[in-house]
Amino acid sequence: MTVLSVNVNKIAVLRNSRGGDAPDVVRAARACLDAGAHGITVHPRPDARHIRHGDVLALSVLCRERGVEFNLEGNPFAPPRTGYPGFLALCEQARPAQATLVPDGDGQLTSDHGFDFERDGQALRPLVAALHDLGCRVSLFADAGGAVQAAAATGADRIELYTGPFAEAFAAGDALAALAACADSAGRAHASGLGVNAGHDLSQANLGAFLATVPHVTEVSIGHALIDEALYAGLDVTVRAYLRILAGA
């Protein structure tokens, strides 16, 4: 069965909007795990707009205690700065089970594209090797329809398909082409020896259709939609709803 990693970035956004410690990111992550989520994802930004250095370390401890996956996302090329030691340094401190590399810039509101592996592959290879030395499985953010098989040459273990275009097409009522691109990319990645993750704008509305069409998906990372839905139904009910979709896929 495809596993669910819950991204709790948005809990930190709400906390930071007011200051203080409420809502508590670790408590929210614990509630998701209590409901059956298989892991926790965070994507700390260098500007600390949501998840902070201390959150990363605290969530790492929680996931180790629970025996679940901690997935740390970030741009490995972003330079260190005050409050952000750099992605590799964070991984060295937190030792996540999975490190997901994402080519996002400081000015991006959210991740919106994958790597160009033919262009970026040489620069990624030593970073992938360094993360393997830390004991991390490495996943690379990838555009559906791109040369995803080229990610294998970096030494990475998985790709994470960027599903934003699929979600947008699904909402517009015409997702066939986007689904075909995702399915083709997942098949090519799998044939190249890569595992397949998926994430960005997946929701209860579109997840079933995605998994019914796209093969080989080992893990989905879901944050924004899940937290939105949980505002009305609660974290426990919402996480369990996603788990039912995964079980039925």
Q: Which two tokens stand for residue 10?
A: 């948005």
Indicate which residues carry an active-site annotation: 43, 73, 200
How far apart (Å, rounded) are the C-alpha atoms in residues 224 and 233?
Answer: 14
Reported for 238-244, long-range contacts at CB under 8 A and 24+ positions apart, including other chains, are: 238/35, 238/204, 239/4, 239/6, 239/32, 239/35, 239/36, 239/37, 240/35, 240/36, 241/204, 242/4, 242/204, 242/207, 243/4, 243/35, 243/36, 243/37
Point out which residues pair with 137 in neighbouring strands.
98
How far apart (Å, rounded) are the C-alpha atoms in residues 121 and 108?
Answer: 22
